[in-house]
Amino acid sequence: MLSLDFLRDGLLNDAVIDFGIRMIAESVDGCITFSSLTLVAGWPKPSRQWLSETSYVVMPINLSSNHWGVIIVEITFLATLTVCFYEPLHDHCYRKELDNTWDYQLRPYLEKWHSQSGSKEPFPKQIIVKWIGKPSQPDLKCCGVMVLGIVYAYLRNTHRFERHGVTEAYVSVIRLRLAWLLLCTTKMIPHSEKNLKEMQKTNQEISKVLLPQ
């Protein structure tokens, strides 16, 4: 059974962050998302889609101390990239991590992608950097929720979330909506008969060790 207890008041993990961003991006034409594990597992092969045909690139980042941030790149070809950085504590050390990820990881990847696509246009020379200063997280555990909120706001071009004073009650509502989304879109795959027998066998072996005879 899938436990959603962590969604009520816990930190969101990589799987939930990636799932949430992917669901948001599906409704936006030309949006490319990266897994939050990319910096650990390695970069994927560049998409066959031309960078010039891409509207947004979204990369969630698991920063130090289990804190979440995100880089959202809006692509306006042929001239401009707008790079938006967000982390909901607005802390200088996290800013440096996001900066370095853009300078030494994401930007070089986008340049390589553009070069390999065969486009005759140069990579955009004008890069506008924007630090998203609001909202701040109201508690110590909702950084992932805040990242999902800001991704939704920017990809759907609805900036009410950015203007709101986000409270713990507001965050609770977002958590409930995320739980509902998970319940409605995930599928449970039944175990095979072979796996069930192996599970029962393992359970019996564990019981022999742990339970008094």
pLDDT at 205: 65
**Residue 110, pLDDT above cutoff 70:** yes
> pLDDT band for position 2 (50/70/90)?
very low
Radius of gyration of the chain (CA): 21
Find tokens 């880089």 and name the residue.
Answer: 71
Could you tell me the fold of the domain covering 5-210? Answer: Adenoviral Proteinase; Chain (3.40.395)
Average per-residue pLDDT for the chain: 81
Q: What is the pLDDT of residues 55-103, one digit of tens each?
A: 899 999 999 888 999 999 998 766 788 999 999 988 888 999 999 999 9
149-189 pLDDT, tens digit each:
889 888 887 777 766 677 777 777 777 777 777 776 665 55
As a dihedral over the C-alpha atoms of residue 111, residue 71, residue 176, residue 159, rounded to 10 degrees, the angle is: -110
pLDDT at 1: 42
